[in-house]
Structure 1
């Protein structure tokens, strides 16, 4: 009987979800009826818009029931229908909000469709002059491209657009967060000059702010490593420049590591390079990005190592 018990428990949960779906479908057909009624000649004469408002509400309630039943694609499309009606009713903020709701449902089943909904929402928000909200939707799109759709170039483009909008609205810290994402990807794509520009720009802003001062050394550290990937002389000059701009950088563990790495590279000493990285990592863990860049530098050093055979 054990097997039956298992099936029964599963069905119990399923039953509840089925009920929600049935109720949602009933609301959808009610909404469709209202829309048809509103567009008939008589309906239009007698309160067509209030029928459309009722229909909007039905679509939204249906969408929320589909969400409870975890039927994400039906939830998404019901939110889209509500959004279209809100647009007909000239209610832009509601139209955009429903598109964002739709996108959140589609994220679970159809990321590409989620992106389409967010792009439509962005059009409405920018049209209304709500650039901060538009910027947040660009970030949401960038995250979908970064995670589900794995398209680094598109993720970068949307983070950049978000940064532009945030800057225009004087949200510097939000803009910088987005720019740092762009720099991370730029370095991964070996667009080092572009990454350097961003790290130096964000670092210069950070070093003048009492709150952000501590993060400046990290930005300069990353900028110097990107210089190092281009060439060693560049990196040495960059480190000197950062020390001049930001004296606290000289005492940082990051700066000391850079100097050890440059020395190891000059002496073509792979072991010294590895030891310096290990020592640093034992105190502050290296993240994925730093690990990748340091491995790249170590490989270039191994390639140059004199052949002792």
Structure 2
């Protein structure tokens, strides 16, 4: 098979992988083997990448390896993700010998999956170190960074577990008690990104665990967002966020999470502010 034939086969694999991925994201697809379809798409992207390599289309190979790496992260296969990112870096280096992958890999993987994944690995390692030194405060700071980045990668369960753990520890501390509401707020938003019912049940749990949370502006905001979601009322959702933002300015992370939730009500690209 000549290079042209190899590229055609690679392109067909890319299209098939995308199709497989879309079917895994549908309601019934998720219900019936969604994760296995993601793994199959992973394999197809990797095969396509190798076909592009054989055709010496290094840029396309790098992009296909990036796609495979992103999906490996989605199914928590960190080692495979790292391997694919390295493969992508090597391919991009051949495509642009003057560049300096993997440090410039973000130019090709524009969503910053590579650097975000590296940041998670770095902060997890640091957290383990501080735990070993019994420096709980420093370990928690690192874990909160992991939660922030994990949520950005849509690894919501990892983020939720960290926010709940740090929040539970904080509510038992006189000095840290006030910050517990922020962690439970962020955990609830992560739940909301997955499913509205998850968020409602989580909110009830956090209020029972930490009654002071009920009186916080964050808890009241989530309740308004839940009501807006149930009513499929985008305007009410946006108004609730704007009202909150006038007193407590939204940072980039909160804005991202709130936009993700809003898009599940209605596909609306407009800003929340």
SS of 2:215's partner is: coil
Distance 1:211 1:150 in 2: 36
- Out of 194, 198, 218, the position equivalent to 2:158 is 194
Q: Could you say which residue in structure 1 is the equivalent of 2:201? A: 237
Give 1:171-250 correspondences, 5 Å limit.
171-250=135-214
Distance 1:229 1:210, change over 3 A: same
SS of 2:175's partner is: coil
C-alpha displacement of 1:149 = 11
Matched, 1:258 2:239: no
Using structure 1 for the length normalisation, give the TM-score.
0.50
Distance 1:300 1:269 in 2: 11
C-alpha displacement of 1:215 = 0.6
- Out of 285, 290, 293, the position equivalent to 2:249 is 285
Q: Could you say which residue in structure 2 is the equivalent of 1:103? A: none
Q: Could you say which residue in structure 1 is the equivalent of 2:124? A: 160
Report runs of 4+ in structure 1 exceeding 3 Å deviation.
Answer: none
Larger radius of gyration: 1
C-alpha displacement of 1:292 = 0.4
Q: How many residue pairs end up in the alignment?
A: 161
**Deviations 1:201-220, CA, capped at 9 Å, x for gaps:** 00000000011111100000
Cα root mean square deviation, aligned: 2.2
**Deviations 1:230-262, CA, capped at 9 Å, x for gaps:** 100110000000000000000000000000000
Work out whether residues 113 and 153 of structure 2, in 8 Å CA contact, stay in contact via their aligned partners in 1.
no
Distance 2:204 2:113 in 1: 41
SS of 2:174's partner is: coil
Give 1:66-81 correspondences, 5 Å limit.
none
Work out whether residues 140 and 166 of structure 2, in 8 Å CA contact, stay in contact via their aligned partners in 1.
yes
Q: Could you say which residue in structure 2 is the equivalent of 1:80? A: none
Distance 1:210 1:165 in 2: 26
Distance 1:167 1:237 in 2: 31
* Unaligned ranges ≥5, structure 2: 1-99, 104-111, 269-273
Distance 1:287 1:259 in 2: 20
C-alpha displacement of 1:150 = 6.7
Matched, 1:267 2:231: yes
Using structure 2 for the length normalisation, give the TM-score.
0.56
Query: Structure with the greater relative contact order (CA < 8 A, sep ≥ 6): 1 or 2?
Result: 2
